[in-house]
Amino acid sequence: MKFSEYPFLRYLPFLIGGILLGKSFQLSLSLLVGLLLLFWLAYFSVLKFSKSSKRIPMTSILAYVMLVLFGMCLISKDQQAEDKSSSKDVDKAEAYVGEVLQFDLKKPNSFENIIEIKAVKKAGEWTKANGKVIVYHQLDSTFSPGMEVYISEPPGIVAGPLNPFEFNYAEFLKREGIQYRQFLGKKVHVLGKSKVNSLSHFLVRFKSRISQQLKSKIPNPSSNQVAQALLLGQKQYLDKDTRKAYSESGVMHILAVSGLHVGIIYALLLFLIKPLKLSSKARKTYLFLVILLIWFYALITGMSPSVLRASTMFSLISLGQMRERKPSIFNVLAFSAMLMMCFAPLVIFEVGFQLSYLAVLGIVMIQPLILRFWYPPNKWLEYVWQLVVVSLAAQLSTFPLTLFYFHAFPTYFLLGNLLIIPLTFLIMQIGIPLILLSWIPYLSDFLGWVVNFLIQFQNFLIGQIQQLPYNQLDRLTISVATMLLIWGILLIWKAWEEVSRRKLAWGALVMLFIWAGFRFKESVNTPSELLVFYQTDKGMLMDYSFHHQTRSWNSRVKVSDISFKIDPNRVQNQWVINPKTLFAIPRQDSTFYFPVLQMNWDSNTNQISFQGKTPKAVEFWKDGKWYQSNNSERIALEESPIRIVF
């Protein structure tokens, strides 16, 4: 594998670098465009006037600089578009009018929907406004796309995370274009009837119609929710138990419409014409229709990063087949990634995008290396071995990132994929015809019965795998340095027979030294004794860590708050999930004394003070970092999480 043979693979890092630079150093779009034009003139001048011996290195440098600037332009343009898409101070309006974007989603005590703001009322006057609100209502009638509603109260801004390493729900909604959240109850007035006036409304209604057809043909609730996720990408219907079962079995990826599903549809469409001897023109026409069908499927399933990647990849492969050429998979992957970044540069920060490309790269690069370890004697064993190898290759490339984000690893992922992927393939081979032929009474009933049976059998297998002992390793952590080291080792393994082994060995040694340096720095900077106070809506909770032991004090903090707000920090610091209780002595003046810490906590004023034990540093958590505080005598615990280092 020569790196020079894959131009888009060479361009990709520079475009990503530009997006990262643009995210860190926000410059005006006009300035960036001016710089880009300046470098383009320099590039043109070098081509026109320089000597041929100096032309290639100079043009290469200028081209890479232009790619970096282009990435910065993309992120600046995206930021401008985001500023325009959301008006300021909508949360301070007296009322607003909006348009419903989708059908209601049933929640335990309400209905969930998304409203796009059209106008707001301020100081008695109506003005145009932008923004999206996720709402919860309790009306007797349901919302539908295109419906216009009047709401007499302003929406609230979605608050960001308060505690260390807490899930950033506000950032998650922001990537979906949602800035506000509001519980309406019945305080909402419908102004107009539902109307279909855009492609988005048509797609939402079309998808809803297919969903209703699946419900009628697969009435079993447990089977239907899996069918909705598997065929349409509607994971919102999955209950917690089903999500947990598929996740712990290592096959949650089959319920998220991804490249696997697009690949199955692509294979099915090509299989239909395999027996036919089509002319060159007819084959090209059919391949063009295949591309249209793939993108239509991508549209109705939500256009997730993995689906976009797969749709772009198979479209490029189909275009190559039209020209009777087989494009390089590395160029196809890199080009599809660059194309996605051009339309949505922030996609590189999405977990789905990262996992999707890592999985495919792992399969392409590592699968051939593992296949060499064994050559099966017959076709059946070869088929099983291929499944095992694909699963291993994808898992090897993605597990560092999975641990980094989710802190868990499914122990029986090989068994799960070996049993469930063939079943998924079979379900989709019958499920897609079920969707297409649902209007034919008896045939669609039979297909629905078959899909229902297969999904129930699949759920049974998932349940058996879930019940196996030690089915998931959880509360695992990994540093960025360790993650990069693992990927570096995999790359060295791939290049072992193509690049000088001496150079690779030296590269591995350098990586190990750098990794060891980061680990040493991390161990030096980690305090041996510290106290953390968390920010919660009610009550107070603190963790005291000393010499690899942890004690905790909880005063009226709910279990749900512990799970979502406090556990992430415990996992990151590798503290136990259920620490022992920190001993405290209550006093008559609403004060608690902690002998181990020599600390008083006033429950009325929510302040702490120390008697004899002096903290080395008092820090507060803000914007993902710990900052030094000047106050170390009497510390208030109301504004942000506090960390005290001894």
pLDDT in tens, 222-231: 899 988 888 8
Give the per-residue pLDDT at 48: 75
Half-sphere exposure in the Cβ direction for 31 (13 Å, CA): 7
Contact (CB, 8 A) for 616 and 629: no
Tokens of 163: 């505690």
DSSP 605: T
Residue 499 phi, psi (nearest 5):
-120, 155
In CATH, the architecture of 90-195 is Beta Barrel (2.40)
What CA–CA distance (Å, rounded) separates 182 from 154?
8
What CA–CA distance (Å, rounded) separates 257 from 307?
7
Average the pLDDT over 145-173 and give the result.
Answer: 88
CA angle, 24 then 29 then 32, to 5°: 80
Q: Which of 635, 483, 564, 551 lies closest to 543, judged by CA? A: 551
Q: Spell 612-640 as b/e; 16+ CB within 10 A means b.
A: eeebeebbbbeeeeeeeeeeeeebebeeb
Residue identified by tokens 């693979």 is: 9
Give the per-residue pLDDT at 510: 93
Residue identified by tokens 């017959």 is: 378
Residue 116 phi, psi (nearest 5):
-95, 120
Q: Report yes or no on whether pTM surpasses 0.85.
A: no
Give the per-residue pLDDT at 84: 66
Tell me the C-alpha to C-alpha distance, in Å, between residue 60 and each of 1, 4, 42, 583.
Answer: 21, 12, 12, 66
Average the pLDDT over 337-344 and give the result.
Answer: 85
Query: Is the pLDDT score of 232 beyond 70?
Result: yes
What residues contact 443, with CB distance under 8 A and at least 6 apart? 437
Tell me the C-alpha to C-alpha distance, in Å, between residue 197 and each of 43, 101, 146, 184, 533.
Answer: 46, 12, 8, 26, 52
pLDDT in tens, 190-222: 888 766 566 777 777 888 888 888 888 998 988
What CA–CA distance (Å, rounded) separates 418 from 392?
11
Local confidence band at 489 (pLDDT 50, 70, 90 cut-offs): very high
CB atoms near residue 505 (< 10 Å):
12
What CA–CA distance (Å, rounded) separates 312 from 322?
15
Give the per-residue pLDDT at 309: 72
3-class secondary structure, 397: helix
Tokens of 143: 């919302």
Query: Is the pLDDT score of 357 beyond 90?
Result: no
Burial of 138 (0-12, 13-18, 19+ CB in 10 A): middle
Half-sphere exposure in the Cβ direction for 562 (13 Å, CA): 16
Tell me the C-alpha to C-alpha distance, in Å, between residue 253 and each of 230, 351, 459, 591.
Answer: 10, 13, 15, 51
Q: Which of 520, 522, 580 lies closest to 551, judged by CA? A: 580
As a residue count, the chain comes to 646
Contact (CB, 8 A) for 511 and 488: yes
pLDDT in tens, 38-52: 988 888 887 777 666
Contact (CB, 8 A) for 140 and 111: no
Residue 271 phi, psi (nearest 5):
-65, -30
Tell me the C-alpha to C-alpha distance, in Å, between residue 386 and each of 12, 202, 254, 370, 373.
Answer: 30, 41, 18, 10, 12
What CA–CA distance (Å, rounded) separates 39 from 58?
11
What CA–CA distance (Å, rounded) separates 427 from 227?
9
Q: Please name the amino acid found at residue 368.
A: P
What CA–CA distance (Å, rounded) separates 543 from 545?
6
Query: Is the pLDDT score of 632 beyond 70?
Result: no
Give the per-residue pLDDT at 455: 93
Give the per-residue pLDDT at 551: 92
Contact (CB, 8 A) for 475 and 495: no
What CA–CA distance (Å, rounded) separates 163 from 169?
12
DSSP 89: T
Residue 58 phi, psi (nearest 5):
-70, -45
Give the per-residue pLDDT at 509: 93
3-class secondary structure, 640: coil
What residues contact 190, with CB distance under 8 A and at least 6 apart? 141, 147, 148, 149, 150
